[in-house]
Structure 1
């Protein structure tokens, strides 16, 4: 039984593994490569210099590898790279990168991208994330591993969201969200740590408490940010089982160009 529907339009130059399934009326361009056991639903358009790994599922009406919504884009051969085992639901739009950045939009492995999500040019999404319905990422956004974005979350260009962070429904993120932190509101503000997510991923009670204490140092102690950072550095030596997480939090804040949500 054929795995490619006879109504699909696939350029002869496209590189599809023999195990790839393609649904009715899907269009795949010449610079597309798709890995083993990936399933492309009906009415999907995949174009641009797009590489898709193995075991991905892309549902109907997706627009994958479209040109950036950036007036500076002049047809340069920029890229979209998608890893393995991602689920990309209906009406998702994933755009190519631009030469003004690294030239690539990148999505890692094992991500769950729900319906109507938009990922703009040059975004970098890690692995094991969940991006709920209608979330919108502007250009140059960074999303760390294990992040959960609530439905209708909007993220301003150049913002970063650190690993294991979470945004609430309709959060409007205009500054960086540190690792482990929950962001809520319009404009988004800190609302505690993502305790439940950390428990589900196997963090111990002691590790979660250490992260919570670090959060309180940053957001509840009343210390200026520089002094809070110094206090975190001292805390690392006191909690060896959690030192890597406090260091991750501290280094993320230190490298923030836009500043963190406060």
Structure 2
């Protein structure tokens, strides 16, 4: 009898993470969705259906990540780990160095440290051979943010995922585990691109693509499903853009 496959998706309660969890659950995975908000995770698990397990943890706090790792260990070996948790931290209202440092630390913790800690907690539990680690970055990592007082810290944190991910690919490759990075562009129906943006902003983002439309969380989920599959076993250490051509490959 074939053993049940297990996937872990951080930030799995909303947006891209929720779509990824739904895609993998639909493909027969048991999916652990990890995040800070228990009620959001519970709602997502109920709506997705199947075997979806909510695991509540602040992924920037080492003790909470360790506890989450123990809870996930009870599900068996981890076949797929999707480090999706992240957010754009609101720039500080004042221009003091103290406020700037705090905003940058929060962006780095939320977008980089969260992935580092969860991967560290689950590293020994990844299936060998055949495990998959997928990091959700951003097109901002490739084209840069708008400056030190806006999205610069978000772009820098996401770019740091790339260098770290390349090292992971080298580390895990001999054990039969692949590591890849997805860099989505403008994706509607997410908390990052929420209701606070103007119609002009949305129009500009769509105009920047080559396909003339916004991305969807399901577009990213489909790319994750491929990278998680056995067919992607020869793909590792890559940055793959899911951006409608807004940022060309290089």
Common fold by TM > 0.5: no
Which structure: greater helix fraction?
Answer: 2
Greater radius of gyration (CA): 1
In the superposition, the TM-score normalised over structure 1's length comes to 0.26
In the superposition, the TM-score normalised over structure 2's length comes to 0.26
Comparing both chains, which one has the higher relative contact order based on Cα–Cα distances under 8 Å and sequence gaps of 6 or more? Answer: 2
